[in-house]
């Protein structure tokens, strides 16, 4: 894939992922054009002031709820990375229709606009919360995944292909527990909802690099899942605030003890590669099945969950992972 010839549009381009994605793609791949699509003019201005003002960059103010604006923004676009979402679990629970409008209807608009504009590749970002969802955020992301996978049926006669990535918690992203623990340690007390809790973890850069690889390899219809290490929430607290008292406050509504990235039912049509799993379409309607020859099938009853993972981060490894976030936090104080 020749990145220098590509025009790419990133929905939610001013978010944590969007900014890091654009930083890396601009530095390492030198695209023809990069379009930031987001609804916040202030964040776009702040991005420009932070150095995201190269001649090949464009800024579109727009909302994924507005299909016509998406159509206009996607004119001449080759690749779309769909990162726009409402993702704060409590906010989605309290404002359910807003989450549905952005995460489900907004995803539908991205799909329709991409089909109309003849975009070649569209990759959507999903989450472990979409597997066996217990909160509305997870349910909306599951629905978005289904939309993206099934939309390849509409696109079969055209060049447009849709796929998803699904991964765990991103260290230091907006809404991450890391900044919360950094703030709490000043008081000598950090709050943990349940000491048994485990999570999959990756850095923003790891997430971006994985998305870039998936864009290069996608055929349409796949859900790509990276192999990630797990962490115990108590180890995370010890890494950030080793001298602080840990207070257990009880699990919150819509929160799981452990997260799952591939469940038992999906495992039947999933193949394992060295560093990721590829969930193929459940129905053999169009394409996305070449992965059968590239990976190996999973054993019956396989489940990729954060509490039964074979790879774990210890306290020292967590410290190394969060060091850049901690330094940025201390500089900003």
Position 68 scores a pLDDT of 98
Encode pLDDT of 244-288 as tens digits.
999 999 998 888 999 999 999 999 999 999 999 999 987 755 555
Question: pLDDT value at position 285?
Answer: 58
pTM of the model: 0.95
Distance, CA of 261 to CA of 265 (rounded, Å): 12
Q: Is the pLDDT of residue 63 over 90?
A: yes
Q: Nearest-CA neighbor of 145 among 266, 45, 275?
A: 266
Q: How far is CA 71 from its chain centroid?
A: 23
Report how far Cα 117 is from the mean position of its chain's Cα atoms.
Answer: 24
Q: What share of residues in the chain are helix, strand, coil (percent, to 5)?
A: 45, 20, 35
The number of beta carbons lying within 10 Å of the beta carbon of residue 251 is 14
Mean pLDDT of the chain: 93
CB neighbour list of residue 333: distance below 8 Å, 6 or more residues apart: none
User: Within 13 Å and on the Cβ side, how many CA atoms surround 115?
Assistant: 16
**Quick one: pLDDT at residue 316?**
95
Asked if residue 195 lies in contact with residue 247, where contact means CB atoms within 8 angstroms, the answer is no
pLDDT at 62: 98
- Binned at pLDDT 50, 70 and 90, residue 154 comes out as confident
Pairwise CA distance, residues 66 & 246, whole Å: 45
What pLDDT sits at residue 32?
97
Name 332's Cβ contacts closer than 8 Å, sequence gap at least 6: none
Looking at residue 35, what is its pLDDT? 98
What sections of the chain are H helices per DSSP?
Answer: 16-28, 41-49, 67-73, 89-94, 96-99, 106-117, 136-155, 177-184, 204-217, 233-240, 264-267, 315-332
Those residues whose C-beta lies under 8 Å from the C-beta of residue 114, and which sit 6 or more positions away, are 74, 77, 80, 122, 160, 162
Residue 68: count other Cβ atoms within 10 Å of its Cβ: 10
Mean pLDDT value across residues 43-69 = 97
Confidence at residue 160, expressed as pLDDT on a 0 to 100 scale: 95
Q: What is the mean pLDDT of residues 187-214?
A: 95
First-to-last alpha carbon distance for the chain, in angstroms, is: 43
Catalytic residues: 129
Per-residue pLDDT of 105-133, as tens digits, reads 999 999 999 999 999 999 999 999 999 99
The Cα–Cα gap between 215 and 3 comes to: 11
Residue 305's beta-bridge partner residues? 260
**In this structure, what DSSP letter does residue 299 have?**
P
The pLDDT, as a whole number, for residue 287 is 59
What domains can be seen in the chain, in order of their start residue? Answer: 3-168+204-226+261-305 (3.40.50.720)
Tell me: the pLDDT tens digits for 19-43? Answer: 999 999 999 999 999 999 999 999 9
- Can you tell me the mean pLDDT for 170-187? 86
Q: Span 216-244, mean pLDDT?
A: 95
12 pLDDT band, cuts 50/70/90, is very high
Residues 6+ apart with CB under 8 A from 147: 104, 107, 108, 111
Over the stretch 279-326, which tens digit does the pLDDT of each residue have?
998 775 555 567 888 889 999 999 999 999 999 999 999 999 999 888
Please check the confidence at residue 45 and state whether its pLDDT lies above 80.
Answer: yes
> Do 158 and 236 touch, CB atoms closer than 8 A?
no
Do residues 224 and 278 lie in contact, with contact meaning Cβ atoms separated by under 8 Å? yes
pLDDT per position as a tens digit, 75-109: 999 999 999 999 998 899 999 999 999 999 999 99
- Class of residue 247 by CB neighbours under 10 A (exposed 0-12, middle 13-18, buried 19+): exposed
């Amino acid at each position: 894939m020749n990145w220098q010839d590509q025009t790419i549009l990133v929905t939610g381009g001013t978010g944590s992922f969007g900014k890091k994605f654009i930083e890396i793609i601009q530095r390492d791949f030198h695209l023809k054009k990069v379009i930031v699509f987001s609804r916040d003019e202030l964040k776009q201005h702040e991005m420009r002031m932070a150095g995201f003002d190269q001649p090949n960059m464009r800024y579109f103010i727009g909302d994924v709820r507005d299909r016509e604006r998406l159509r206009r923004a996607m004119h001449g676009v080759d690749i779309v990375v769909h990162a726009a979402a409402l993702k704060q679990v409590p906010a989605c629970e309290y404002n359910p229709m807003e989450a549905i409008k952005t995460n489900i209807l907004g995803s539908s608009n991205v799909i329709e606009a991409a089909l109309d504009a003849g975009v070649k590749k569209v990759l959507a970002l999903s989450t472990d919360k979409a597997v066996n969802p217990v909160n509305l955020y997870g349910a909306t992301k599951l629905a978005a995944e289904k939309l993206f996978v099934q939309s390849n049926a509409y696109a079969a006669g055209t060049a447009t292909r849709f796929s998803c990535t699904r991964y765990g918690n991103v260290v230091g992203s907006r809404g991450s527990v890391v900044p919360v623990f950094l703030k709490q340690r000043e008081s000598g007390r950090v709050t943990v909802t349940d000491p048994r809790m485990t999570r999959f973890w990756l850095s923003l850069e790891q997430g971006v690099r994985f998305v870039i690889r998936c864009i290069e390899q996608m055929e349409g219809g796949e859900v790509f899942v990276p192999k990630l290490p797990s962490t115990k929430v108590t180890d995370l607290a010890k890494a950030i605030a080793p001298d602080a008292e840990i207070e257990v406050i009880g699990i919150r509504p819509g929160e799981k003890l452990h997260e799952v990235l591939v469940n038992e039912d999906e495992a039947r049509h999933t193949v394992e590669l060295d560093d990721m799993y590829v969930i193929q379409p459940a129905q053999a309607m169009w394409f996305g099945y070449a992965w059968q020859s590239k990976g190996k099938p999973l054993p019956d009853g396989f489940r990729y969950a954060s509490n039964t993972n074979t790879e774990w981060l210890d306290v020292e490894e967590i410290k190394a992972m969060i060091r850049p976030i901690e330094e940025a936090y201390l500089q900003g104080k």
